[in-house]
Amino acid sequence: MSEFTVAYARPRREWLAAAVIWSAALVVTGLFLWIVGDIVRHGIGQISWGFITAAPADAGRAGGIGPILVSTLLILGVCMAVSIPLGVGTAVLLAEFTSDDNRFGRLVRLSLDVLAGTPSIVFGLFGLAFFAKVMGLGFSILSGGLTLACMVLPILIRATEEGFRSAPDDYRLSAAALGLSRTATITHLLLPAATPGLVVGLVLGIGRALAETAALIFTSGYVDRMPGSLLDSGRALSIHIFDLSMNVPGGNANAYASALVLVALLLIINAAAAWLGEHCLRQRIVPV
């Protein structure tokens, strides 16, 4: 009997753990509601169809954010178009083709970890020197998108790699026994199985890209005109918010409204990323 007395102490510890976990969730929710509530309360009044489509006027105090929204989406598009293939490729190499003690793999992982900690302003200055000047792209949506791609790569790679690592070895073994090539195994089995990791990477990466200010000031620039091409300079939403709240007296109201639009945009893009992951990759993986 005596060895099972521990069981009596359990409910209390169990209760305590549950209490701690629920309160952690409540704290996070509270903080979130506080911050987002603040944005919504101050920003909702400005939001209208006109605000979303019109061009900014009077340094952003008046008018809307139409061209800025377009620039933001273009920058994000460039960033994702470059970072997703590069990131997934690297993640596949790291997870499927290099063992833990492989030197090349460790080197790449190390450099990615350092890249993950690189301050955004250094990315900005680097992007200005490398993409804008050396590669001759100038202040452009392309420069901004490429700089952001460098920034989100480590997040994307790490998350995707985790996804691949979590796919059971069973799949690899039985696929090999069927004589499936590495490529077929990866594209048809492991990639779908790694989708949750990829989606987390995307959500974090998109979040970081949309939220980025310092890296974009020096690369995609400050021009708030509707961009005509990817080689035009275009102001991103986060820069607009920064400028309005820190540099333009009287810009607060529109700064809040722009932040609200950004949050809404993020909500839509995240949902789309999750949906795409679910339907384009995962569709074939049928959970029981």
Partner 1 sequence: MNDMRAEFRPWFALAERPPCCEPEPFIRTEHLSLHYRDKPAFRNVTLAINTGCITALVGPSGCGKTSLLSCLNRLTDMIAGAHVEGGIEIGGENVRAPRTDLIGLRRRVGMIFQKPNPFPLSIARNLEFPLRAHGVKDKSRVAELLETTLTEVGLWREVKDRLNAPALSLSGGQQQRLCIARALALKPEALLMDEPCSALDPLASGVVEDLIASLRMRYTVLIVTHNLAQARRIADHAALFWVRNGAGELVEYGSAKQIFETPREALTAAYVSGMRG
Partner 2 sequence: MRLRHVLLAAIVAALSGCSSDEDETSIVLTGSSTIAPLASELGKRFEALHPRVRVDVQTGGSSRGIADARSELADLGMASRALYEDEHDLKAYTIAYDGVGIIVHRDNPVRKLTDKQISGIYTGEIANWNEVGGRDAPITVVNKAEGRSTLELFLEYFTLESSDIEADVVIGDNEQGIKTVAGNPDSIGYVSIGTAEYDAGQGVPIKLLPLSGVDASTANVRNGTFPLSRPLNLVKKTRPQGWVRRFVDFARSPAARNIVTSQFFVPIAQ
Partner 3 sequence: MLIWVLRVCATLSGAIIILILAFLVLESLPALRHAGLAGFFTDASWHPTENLFNLLPMLWGTVLAMTGAVLIATPLGILSAVFCHYYAPPVIARQYRRLIELLAGIPSVVYGFWGLVVLVPLIGRLHPPGPSLLAGVIILAIMILPTIALMADAALANVPVQYLRGAHALGLSRWATVRGVVFPAARSGLYTGVILGAGRAVGETMAVLMVCGNVVQMPVSLFDPVRTLTANIALEMAYALGDHRSALFVSGLVLMALILVLVAAAERFAQNHIHV
Contacts of 178-183 spanning 24+ positions with Cβ under 8 A: 182/96
- Pick 35 or 57: Cβ nearer partner 3: 35
Give the range of 13-21, 65-73, 204-212, 247-255 binding partner 2 by CB under 8 A: 247-255
* CA atoms in the 13 A half-sphere facing the CB of 178: 12
> Pick from 68, 44, 46: which is nearest to 55 by CA?
68
Subset of residues 87 to 126 that bind partner 1, contact rule: CB under 8 A: 99
Neighbouring residues of 141: CB distance < 8 A, sequence distance ≥ 6: 71, 74, 75, 78, 220, 227, 230, 231, 232, 233, 234
Decide: is 217 part of the binding site for partner 2 (CB under 8 A). yes
Consecutive H or E run containing 56? strand 56-57
Q: Which of residues 258-277 bind partner 3 (CB under 8 A)?
A: 259, 262-263, 266-267, 270
Closest separation between CB of residue 225 and partner 3, Å? 22
Residues 221-240 that bind partner 3 (CB under 8 A): 237-238
Distance, CA of 191 to CA of 277 (rounded, Å): 10
Out of 74, 112, 137, 193, which residue is the one contacting partner 1 (CB under 8 A)? Answer: 193
In whole angstroms, give the CA distance from residue 240 to residue 56: 10
Q: Could you give the CA distance from residue 80 to residue 74 in angstroms, rounded to a whole number?
A: 10
164 touches which of partner 2, partner 3, partner 1, none (CB within 5 to 8 A by kind)?
A: none
**What residues numbered 72-131 form the site for partner 2, per CB under 8 A?**
128
Among 51, 126, 131, 139, binds partner 2 (CB under 8 A): 139
3-state SS, residue 62:
strand
Looking up tokens 């209390």, which residue turns up? 12
- The site string for partner 3 over 80-109 (x = CB under 8 A, - otherwise) reads -----xxx-xx-xxx--x--x---x--xx-
| Segment lying near partner 2 (by CB under 8 A), choices 100-108, 182-190, 204-212, 230-238 | 230-238
Q: Is the dihedral of CA 172, 174, 177, 183 positive or negative?
A: negative
Could you say which of partner 1, partner 2, partner 3, none residue 59 binds, taking C-beta under 5 to 8 angstroms by partner kind? partner 2
d(CA 49, CA 231): 28
Which pair of structure tokens corresponds to residue 252?
């607060």
State in angstroms the smallest separation of the CB of 78 from partner 2.
Answer: 9
Q: Which does 184 bind (CB under 5 to 8 A by kind): partner 2, partner 1, partner 3, none?
A: partner 1
Q: Which two tokens stand for residue 129?
A: 């020197």
Q: Is residue 239 within the footprint of partner 1 (CB under 8 A)?
A: no
Interacting residue ranges for partner 2, rule: CB under 8 A:
57-60, 128, 139, 142, 217-218, 221-225, 227-233, 243, 245-251
Point out which residues bind partner 1 (CB under 8 A). 99, 170-181, 184, 188-189, 193, 284-288
